[in-house]
Chain A
Amino acid sequence: MNEDVLKKVQSNPKFKELVHKKTSLGWQLSIVMLVIYYGFTLVLAFSPSTLGAPLAPGMTMTVGIPVGILIILSAFLLTGLYVRKANGEFDQLNREIVEEAQK
């Protein structure tokens, strides 16, 4: 990448927008995932009986099982959310930045 292209991209307000949007979404979703996972780990460590309680009185299934399955699903849904945003909106913005830089 030459200096000229670099300057053009850096001064393009669309680049600032892209950086802001992509970075903040990336970090937000990472934090959501970390909170879910480490929240789960902390409950396991300090209050395992919460997850071991029956889902409803008389049931064998415990709270922990749907919670565990939901965490697996949440990981999939979060990646889906990011890919949707990034492959649509962010890539559109990115294409414009690249085109404008090469003018």
Chain B
Amino acid sequence: MKKCTGSLALAALSLFPVLAFASGAIEGDVKQQATNWHAIIMFVVFVAFTMGITYWAARRTRSASDFYTAGGGISGFQNGLAIAGDYMSAASFLGISAMVFDKGFDGLIYSIGFLVGWPVILFLVAERLRNLGKYTFADVASYRLQQTPVRSFAATSTLMVVAMYLIAQMVGAGKLIQLLFGMSYSSAVIMVGILMVCYVLFGGMLATTWVQIIKAVLLLCGASFMAFMVLSTVGFSPEMMFEKAVAAHAKHAAIMAPGKADPVDSISLGMALMFGTAGLPHILMRFFTVSDAKEARKSVFYATGFIGYFYILTFIIGFGAIMLVLNQPGMMETVTKNGKEVHQLIGGSNMAAIHLANAVGGDMFLGFISAVAFATILAVVAGLALSGASAVSHDLYASVIMKGKANEADEIRVSKITTVVLGIIAIVLGLVFEKQNIAFMVGLAFSIAASANFPILFLSMFWKGLTTRGAVIGGFVGLVSAILLIVVGPTVWVDIMKHPTALFPYKNPAIFSITLAFVSTWLFSVTDKSKSAEDEKAKFDAQFVRSMTGIGATGASKH
């Protein structure tokens, strides 16, 4: 693939702070490439097909429950695929394989961090969430607390997480499309924004889920084929693959062993990944699309299986790229970075999986993988937009502004207007932030989810003593401390703002901000002697019975 030149680290569109931090943010300009027709044709087929699905879904989406949760009619297996799809973003595909390509074993360490949150979500969160909630995680957090303050907090942190993610995905999409399709940055960003709004506006959760499922299947098939082809070149002997990779890589045997890491940063990162996943609004809302607790459990089981399998594939793909792409004629370029000449893969390490697709499957397969990478971004931003829209319409409009007296038609109208507004905002921000370092926003999204959403959600389900005052103060403490510690940490303070040393030494603040959130939630709850606090504690028993048995839980709608 000679079309790819330019210096870019795609990792910034990564779902994950680490990857973004590890390989640097998007740097400088990406040169627009020659038009890649294979990729464009396959992408057009994908868009046409998903628009067909959106049309089909639109005819089935009438009530609020259809719009937010696909009427609760998604099966555990389908939802497992959709959740896996949310997780297998273009970033984890390109970013993790790039990381394995650069550092070998360390790439596997990150994959593991992303995966191990899932079992814990299953054991402690999934079914309780399904039994208590209806459309958003704020339903659960505010179950026995005062609606207005708790939902205002939940909607604020949801919108923060969604905004950070959307910007990162939009900018990443623009750069990726420029590189893969040869389209201009601004037209790419506008196209992503419009398609995202179409899926959500017309097809609601049903279309959003099916787009995600289709993409997940395509990505799993494509990655499986690549891993199979890589292994077939070494006679299906992993040992042979590692030997060849060690011989080809500049770091030699070091790629087989873990690199240096600061213990506090590693553990903090582990916590952000594990608990951040359990606090991401667009992941949590997927638990409301299944009919009951049983299907919710199955979703996590299948999701864990698919994600784990996918990470093993990306590990093989990364090593395959070292073997088959690194230093091969026509795959390398020399660019100037910060005044130094760097010999690198064309388009940077993040293109490792894309080059490998070309090496093992030719131009057609390269086009397929490029189209899938773009489809992945579309599916993820659609989920984000829907989650932001439900925070505004269900939490802010219906519960806070209308005090629960909004009629369903108005609530849907508000969420549709919000979707359009979010689409416009996403396009504008995507254009404004084109040249910005966006890595820290992704880091923020995960840290906020882990430090603000997760502690409140967890305590509302497990601790009788939680009161409105504790939840709101503790949640905001988590939110603010996560943002502040990232800003004064090495990523923003030194790398972006160019100060000589960071005020806070760690890249990953989660261990501190999560602790702060838990401690202040506890403190402001136990010292809350108000009458309403007493009532809130008294309501815990009924909530507990419902969370365990599902009695009174919102079921699937009839159709």
CA of A51 to CA of B238 in the docked complex: distance in angstroms? 17
Q: A68, B109: Cβ atoms under 8 Å? A: yes
A4 vs chain B, min Cβ distance (A):
12
CA of A1 to CA of B113 in the docked complex: distance in angstroms? 40
Q: B550, A94: Cβ atoms under 8 Å? A: yes
Q: B257, A49: Cβ atoms under 8 Å? A: yes
Contact with B along A19-30 (1 / 0, CB 8 A): 100100111011
Q: Which of B109, B261, B267, B300 touches A38 (beta carbons < 8 Å)?
A: B267
Q: A62, B105: Cβ atoms under 8 Å? A: yes
Contact of B243 with A by CB under 8 A: yes
| Residue on A nearest B262 in the bound complex, by CB | A45
Contact of B48 with A by CB under 8 A: no
Kindly list chain B residues whose C-beta atoms are within 8 Å of the C-beta of A45.
261-263, 266-267
Kindly list chain B residues whose C-beta atoms are within 8 Å of the C-beta of A71.
112, 115-116
Contact with B along A69-90 (1 / 0, CB 8 A): 1011101101110110011000
CA of A76 to CA of B84 in the docked complex: distance in angstroms? 13
Kindly list chain A residues whose C-beta atoms are within 8 Å of the C-beta of B261.
44-45
Q: A86, B297: Cβ atoms under 8 Å? A: yes
Kindly list chain A residues whose C-beta atoms are within 8 Å of the C-beta of B305.
76, 79
B87 vs chain A, min Cβ distance (A):
13
A58 vs chain B, min Cβ distance (A):
10
Segment of B182-190, B473-481, B540-548 in the binding face? B540-548
Chain B, 311-339, CB within 8 A of any chain A CB: 311-312
Q: Which of B239, B260, B270 touches A48 (beta carbons < 8 Å)?
A: B260
Segment of B121-129, B281-289, B346-354, B449-457 in the binding face? B121-129
Q: A5, B551: Cβ atoms under 8 Å? A: yes
| Residue on A nearest B265 in the bound complex, by CB | A45
Indicate the size class of the contact surface on chain B: 35 or more
Kindly list chain B residues whose C-beta atoms are within 8 Å of the C-beta of A73.
308
A1 vs chain B, min Cβ distance (A):
5
CA of A22 to CA of B131 in the docked complex: distance in angstroms? 15
CA of A60 to CA of B305 in the docked complex: distance in angstroms? 28
Q: B239, A59: Cβ atoms under 8 Å? A: yes
Q: A37, B112: Cβ atoms under 8 Å? A: yes
CA of A15 to CA of B546 in the docked complex: distance in angstroms? 11
Given contacts A64-B257, A75-B116, contact A15 B312 (CB under 8 A): no
Kindly list chain A residues whose C-beta atoms are within 8 Å of the C-beta of B242.
60-61, 65
Contact of B119 with A by CB under 8 A: yes
Q: Which of A9, A30, A40, A52 touches B119 (beta carbons < 8 Å)?
A: A30
Given contacts A68-B108, A75-B119, contact A83 B256 (CB under 8 A): no
Q: A46, B116: Cβ atoms under 8 Å? A: no
Q: A64, B116: Cβ atoms under 8 Å? A: no
Q: B119, A68: Cβ atoms under 8 Å? A: no
Given contacts A61-B238, A79-B304, A91-B294, contact A1 B266 (CB under 8 A): no
A54 vs chain B, min Cβ distance (A):
8
Kindly list chain A residues whose C-beta atoms are within 8 Å of the C-beta of B28.
none
Q: B301, A80: Cβ atoms under 8 Å? A: yes
Kindly list chain B residues whose C-beta atoms are within 8 Å of the C-beta of A48.
257-260
Kindly list chain A residues whose C-beta atoms are within 8 Å of the C-beta of B246.
60
A32 vs chain B, min Cβ distance (A):
9
Q: B257, A51: Cβ atoms under 8 Å? A: yes
Given contacts A9-B545, A83-B301, contact A37 B270 (CB under 8 A): yes
CA of A19 to CA of B305 in the docked complex: distance in angstroms? 27
Kindly list chain B residues whose C-beta atoms are within 8 Å of the C-beta of A94.
548-550
CA of A48 to CA of B258 in the docked complex: distance in angstroms? 6
Contact of B111 with A by CB under 8 A: yes
**Residues of B near any A CB (own CB < 8 A):** 105, 108-109, 111-113, 115-116, 118-120, 122-124, 127, 238-239, 242-243, 246, 253, 256-263, 266-267, 270, 274, 294, 297-298, 300-301, 304-305, 308, 311-312, 541-542, 545-546, 548-552
**Residues of A near any B CB (own CB < 8 A):** 1, 5-6, 9-10, 15, 18-19, 22, 25-27, 29-30, 33-34, 36-38, 40-42, 44-46, 48-49, 51-52, 59-62, 64-65, 68-69, 71-73, 75-76, 78-80, 82-83, 86-87, 91, 94, 97-98, 101
